[in-house]
Amino acid sequence: MGGGEGKERQYQVDIRLGNGAPEGSSEPLGALFAVLRKGRLMKRKDAMTTVGIDLGTSTTKLVVSRLRLANTAGHTRIPRIEIVDRQVVYRSPLYRTPLLNDSLIDMAGVGEILNAEYRRAGITFADIDTGAVIITGETATRDNAREVVMFLADRAGDFVVATAGPDLEGILAGKGSGALEWSKRMNRTVANVDIGGGTANIALFSRGEVRGTCTLAIGGRVIEFERGVVRRVSPVLKKWMQVTDMRLEPGWRVDHSVEMLCRISDRLAGCLAGVLHQRVGPPERELLVGHPPNWVEPPDAWMVSGGVGGMIAALLDGSRSASSCKELVIERAWAEDGFADMGLPLAYSLVHEQSFADLERIPAGETTRATVIGAGTQSMEISGATVHVEAGRLPLRNVPVMAFTYDPEGVPEEDLRQVLARGKQIYDPGGENPPLALAVRGLSGRHFSDLQEAAEVFSRVLGEDLPGGEPAVLIMDGDVGKAFGQCLSAAGLKSLVCIDQIQAGDGDYVDIGEPVMESGAVPVAVKTLVLDGPREVKKR
């Protein structure tokens, strides 16, 4: 998000009364604000303290923020509570992510960092209302990654927990950089490329929705230096060099290898440009982490976030000068700042790569800190009339959301299959089959016969693609939840949760609690990851 764009962006808490509640009634607000949180209720608040913890390939960081809530609907209408302001009150410095070895995260080391930063921020676990723990990049593949995340999340508050595979990492980075919002505001297609230490995570956004993802093993730490010598070459890069007829070995002196290092840097930049244009030859294929680029509509613009994105921004605005790639390679080879690697040379190559010439370069609103700063409860509804639930299916917690727009003029069945496949790639890279919620748009205001036709499509596709035993969770954008739920049941989809009039989208998480009223009404909370933007930091 750049400049004024950050002020326009709000993170919404949409609280709606159940059918039959009088408009303007304030009595249910206290109940609606009560969210089941680790066995206790969170009372209604006008502000929340949220913490974001991000463990990446190269760095670990923590951000503490205050979210201010307000009813923006007025006193005579159904309350609409929005996060109208967020203030970063503390940022930790960037720490090198502590590792015991190549396969294990140093859990004690991470704990020491966080305990020290909590003290510096002037907060305790009891002060935290909500938050998010995201583990990304190569760190997410360590043997004890999941245990570390759960250990951190269990220590305080109602945390959204995500061990982000490369696809989810790319989407989160694209939201944090402002790419998703830019695509929505400009009605265009943009690729956000988040380049850190180990990977380049690409997420394509078109008109405010995720259209595709892809990840390449391109990052600053694919080659590392120590005292003027090549210390490490990543295994993926070694295989890639065989395909591209290049050679580099640990132990080689950088001053004797500088031309080869710049060739490697330039070729990596060219491969990245090729993937954005969906040109995937043998060199690009060697760099793929998972699936090839899966978008249909090519981007017409691109942003770069992550550590390398910050370096690109510095090169472009003149705050970091360099006359050549060779100059930067020699400088980094002798660096003692913890980042003696190819990050800066790669940034230089990306700035000068001609294959990007047909794409408009959009400055990212955030680069090195395009990170999660927490999670706010975004919406809640208690309504018996608009919820269809199979007995024994609740509660559901931290169910990720994918947006789907139903277009009867297109090929809705194929479109739905593609969205579900994308959701599995993003949220279930390990094949564990967790539930997935669909935020369905395009059915509001349609005739009942149209709903029946759509229900046949949904029932057919979801019946085939849903993980065994998991309910279909649908979040409707209009007042069609009850009617569409009935149509789905009639079409044969019995395991169903159908909610309406709630705003949710890609990257949100939904909690659905057990019934709280005799009518069978259930509390539903939609949580969004609140992403850092370029705002003033107030330190305590």
Q: What is the pLDDT of residue 50?
A: 78
Q: Would strands 496-500 and 388-389 be described as parallel, antiparallel, or unpaired?
A: antiparallel
Summarised one tens digit per residue, pLDDT across range 261-318 is 999 999 999 999 999 999 999 999 999 998 899 898 889 999 999 889 889 989 998 8
Q: What share of the chain is helix, strand, coil (3-state, %, to 5)?
A: 35, 30, 35
Distance between CA atoms of residues 196 and 205, nearest Å? 20
Cα separation, 389 vs 499, whole angstroms: 10
The chain-wide mean pLDDT, for the chain, equals 76
Instruction: Check: CB of residue 132 under 8 Å from CB of residue 372.
Output: yes
Quick one: what percent of the chain has pLDDT higher than 70? 71
Tell whether omega for the bond before 400 is within 30 degrees of 0, i.e. cis.
no
For the chain, give the percent of residues with pLDDT over 90.
Answer: 30
Q: Give the lowest-confidence range in 453-462, 470-479, 497-506.
A: 497-506
Cβ atoms of 297 and 206 closer than 8 Å: yes
Domain ranges of the chain: 1-165+367-381+529-540, 179-361, 387-500
Segment 399-423 mean pLDDT: 86
> Residue 192 pLDDT > 90, yes or no?
yes
Contact call for residues 219 and 197 (beta carbons, < 8 A): yes
pLDDT digits (tens, 9 = 90+) for 58-79: 778 888 888 776 666 565 554 4
Domain at 1-165+367-381+529-540: CATH architecture: 2-Layer Sandwich (3.30)
What is the per-residue pLDDT for 200? 93
What is the average pLDDT across 408-437? Answer: 82
How far out from the chain centre does Cα 336 lie?
32
Taking the complete model, does pTM exceed 0.75, yes or no? Answer: no
What pairs with residue 374 in β-bridges?
A: 530
CA distance 450 to 439: 18
Omega before 395 within 30 of 0, i.e. cis:
yes
Burial class (CB in 10 A: 0-12, 13-18, 19+), 40: exposed
